[in-house]
């Protein structure tokens, strides 16, 4: 059980997953903030108001959990993170009890590792990343800040994922490959050659999307 009290940012699907993780670990959740009232989150977590409500709490008294997911090239999640951290609020790193994480992994603040994920030795997870359900991250991988590795994706050994990049559900990036910043890898894709910054690829093997 953690000693801090938590506020969840957002009230949609990813927020529910984060809330469930915290409740499993017997954390105290004060409530959630969102642009609109979504009712009680998971039947018990109250709506506190919009994002501005957070500023009524002293940063030393609460920790935030980013319940806003990342879809494609959306920057909403990272913008919220940057806005609140610039005001001295801290986003908690959360790790599901069923995740397997090597003690030789460097994990930055605000990272989220969800149920069934595996993160192997020598890897690096940047700030505010989502390592979603049943993701496999093999040895010596680097996941840049604000990236999202979607459910069931596999990063083989020594893969580099750039900042703000989205790896789709069930995608595989083979060993030694790099995926640039603000890139998007489609669901189920097989990446076997480097992906440049701001590029969208999909398919097996993955190829750049035609504009």
Residue-range domains of the chain with CATH: 5-91 (3.40.50.20), 93-201 (2.160.10.10)
Tokens 């009232």, located at residue? 37
The pLDDT score that the predictor gives to residue 36 is 93
67 carries a ligand binding annotation? no
86 belongs to an annotated ligand binding site: no
pTM (2 d.p.)? 0.95
Task: Return the pLDDT at 143.
Answer: 99
pLDDT at 209: 84
Which residue(s) pair with 24 in the sheet?
Answer: none
Residue by residue, pLDDT tens for the chain (211 residues) are 567 899 999 999 999 999 999 999 999 999 999 999 999 999 999 999 999 999 999 999 999 999 998 877 678 999 999 999 999 999 999 999 999 999 999 999 999 999 999 999 999 999 999 999 999 999 999 999 999 999 999 999 999 999 999 999 999 999 999 999 999 999 999 999 999 999 999 999 989 987 6
The sign of the torsion formed by the CA atoms of 199, 157, 123, 92 equals positive
Whether 139 is catalytic is: yes
Catalytic option among 139, 146, 164, 182: 139
Q: State both tokens at 120.
A: 């192997």
Do the annotations mark residue 182 as ligand-binding? no
Rg, C-alpha atoms of the chain: 17
pLDDT at res. 2? 67
């Amino acid at each position: 059980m953690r000693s801090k009290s938590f506020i969840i940012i957002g009230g949609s699907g990813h927020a529910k997953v984060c809330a469930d993780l915290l409740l499993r670990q017997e954390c105290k959740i004060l409530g959630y903030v969102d642009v609109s009232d979504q009712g009680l989150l998971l039947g018990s977590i109250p709506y506190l108001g919009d994002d501005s409500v957070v500023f009524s709490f002293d940063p030393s008294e609460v920790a935030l959990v980013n319940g806003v997911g990342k879809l494609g090239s959306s920057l909403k999640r990272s913008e919220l993170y940057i806005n609140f951290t610039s005001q001295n609020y801290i986003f908690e790193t959360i790790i599901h009890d069923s995740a397997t994480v090597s003690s030789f992994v460097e994990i930055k603040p605000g990272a989220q590792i969800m149920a069934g994920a595996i993160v192997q030795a020598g890897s690096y997870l940047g700030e505010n990343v989502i390592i979603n359900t049943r993701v496999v991250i093999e040895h010596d991988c680097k996941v840049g800040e604000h990236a999202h590795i979607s459910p069931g994706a596999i990063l083989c050994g020594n893969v580099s994922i750039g900042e703000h990049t989205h790896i789709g559900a069930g995608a595989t990036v083979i060993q030694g490959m790099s995926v640039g910043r603000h890139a998007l890898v489609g669901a189920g894709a097989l990446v076997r050659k480097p992906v440049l910054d701001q590029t969208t690829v999909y398919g097996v093997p993955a190829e750049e999307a035609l504009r």
